[in-house]
């Protein structure tokens, strides 16, 4: 049976004014654009915060955010509203392209790659495994992996994944780069060898970036899809400036460079090279 407080929570109404307010707050801060029609999704996600805080009404929730001068609750709101879907070897043609085209140009040179919008870590860990396989365990790669959400970054740093999560990793690689730490339920943890190649950090792509580059690869896949065109174009230019000449930018498969192109050449679907 549902308890009294739970029933009150279910009755909480997210008005159009509430939705517009969330939409503006999220967009101003992160660039994420919430389309009309996402009201039910936003309500379901925000209810998690109301439940956690013991609040039963969205007006009270917004008052709470405003009174929280630490900004912690605002970041929790951003956390619940980001979409963090990811997987190992997602859009695997990009990793094949890296093996076929990028790796032969690197040799033993020290390189830096950036996974921008890395979610829970599957993308940068895939990059690290792929590199080590190619280089037969040696090499000189540093990977920066950033996201706006502290929640997913915490999971990424722990590097612990369920059987469901690791199902796209070839068995031999799983045994080589992970340690089985749980049987029932099955759980696997990334080994130090690949974890030590990656530096995770919180970074909002809309703010200033502390790193100077240059990067040999920037992957920003399935992130810009949530931004409007103007925000996307500004980001593309900033990525261009941080890449070394000949460096590559990888976007998600439904994302492209639209509008002014700072000088990228399209080399594969959603893969671009700085000339
Ligand atoms: C759908 S996931 C994509 C993960 C991975 N790149 C992939 O393709 O599998 C999108 C990620 O972008 C992050 N994100 C959204 N807006 C961001 C911003 N302004 N700055 C940094 N990260 C952002 C989200 O928190 C989320 O983890």
Centre of ligand 1 to C-alpha 119, Å, is 6
- Tell me how far CA of residue 107 lies from CA of 131, 187, 238, 263, 267, in angstroms: 11, 35, 27, 25, 21
Q: How far is the CA of 5 from the centre of ligand 1 (A)?
A: 34
DSSP state of 100: I
- Cα of 43 vs its chain's centroid, Å: 22
Query: What stretch(es) of the chain map to CATH 3.40.50.150?
Result: 93-274
Mean pLDDT value across the chain:
94
Q: Which fold has domain 4-81?
A: Chemotaxis Receptor Methyltransferase Cher; domain 1 (1.10.155)
∠ CA 270-237-117 to the nearest 5 degrees? Answer: 60
Q: Are 260 and 233 in contact (CB under 8 A)?
A: yes
Which residues belong to CATH 1.10.155.10 in the chain?
A: 4-81
pLDDT score of 107 = 87
pLDDT at 98: 98
pLDDT at 4 (0 to 100): 57
Catalytic residues: 45, 147
What was the pLDDT predicted at 1? 42
Nearest atom in ligand 1 to the alpha carbon of residue 29 is 19
**Would you say 146 and 118 are in contact if contact means Cβ atoms under 8 Å apart?**
yes
Closest Cα to residue 90, out of 272, 239, 253, 256? 253
Strands 198-202 and 215-220: unpaired
Q: CATH fold of 93-274, please?
A: Rossmann fold (3.40.50)
Are 222 and 190 in contact by the 8 Å Cβ rule? The answer is: no
Contact 243, 214 (CB under 8 A): yes
User: What was the pLDDT predicted at 124?
Assistant: 98
Q: Which one of 77, 79, 82, 155 would you pick to mutate in the ligand 1 pocket, going by the greatest count of ligand atoms within 8 A of its CB?
A: 82
- Ranges of residues in the chain with a pLDDT under 50 are 1
User: Residues of the chain with pLDDT > 70: what percent?
Assistant: 97
Degrees to nearest 5, angle at CA 47 with 9 and 88: 150
How many A from CA of 263 to the centre of ligand 1?
24
What the block records as the tokens of 148 is 């706006």
Cα 89 to middle of ligand 1, angstroms: 16
The candidate with the shortest Cα–Cα distance to 235, out of 24, 30, 26, 23, is: 30
Residues with C-beta less than 6 Å from any ligand 1 atom: 30-32, 82-86, 90, 117-119, 123, 147-149, 152, 203-206, 221-223, 226, 252
Q: Whose CA is nearest to atom 17 of ligand 1?
A: 148
Q: Whose CA is nearest to atom 11 of ligand 1?
A: 117
Containing 1, the helix (H) or strand (E) segment is none
């Amino acid at each position: 049976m549902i308890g009294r407080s739970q029933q009150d929570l279910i009755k909480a109404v997210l008005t159009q004014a509430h939705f517009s307010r969330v939409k503006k707050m999220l967009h101003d801060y992160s660039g994420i654009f919430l389309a009309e029609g996402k009201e039910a999704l936003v309500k379901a996600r925000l209810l998690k915060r109301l439940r956690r805080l013991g609040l039963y009404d969205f007006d009270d929730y917004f008052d709470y955010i405003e009174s929280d001068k630490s900004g912690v609750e605002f970041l929790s709101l951003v956390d619940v509203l980001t979409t963090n879907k990811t997987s190992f070897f997602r859009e695997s043609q990009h990793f094949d392209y890296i093996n076929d085209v990028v790796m032969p140009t690197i040799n033993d040179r020290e390189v830096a790659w950036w996974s921008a919008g890395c979610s829970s870590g599957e993308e940068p860990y895939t990059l690290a495994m792929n590199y080590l396989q190619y280089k037969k365990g040696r090499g000189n790669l540093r990977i920066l992996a950033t996201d706006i959400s502290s929640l997913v970054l915490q999971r990424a740093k722990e590097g612990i994944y369920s059987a469901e999560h690791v199902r796209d990793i070839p068995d031999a690689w799983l045994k080589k780069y992970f340690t089985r730490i749980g049987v029932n339920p099955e759980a696997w943890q990334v080994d130090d060898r690949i974890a030590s190649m990656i530096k995770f950090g919180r970074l909002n792509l809309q703010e200033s970036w502390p790193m100077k580059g240059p990067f040999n690869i920037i992957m920003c896949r399935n992130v810009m899809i949530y931004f409007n065109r103007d925000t996307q174009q500004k980001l593309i230019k900033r990525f261009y400036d941080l890449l070394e000449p000949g460096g590559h930018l990888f976007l998600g498969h439904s994302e492209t460079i639209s509008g002014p192109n700072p000088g990228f050449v399209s080399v594969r679907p959603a893969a671009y090279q700085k000339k």
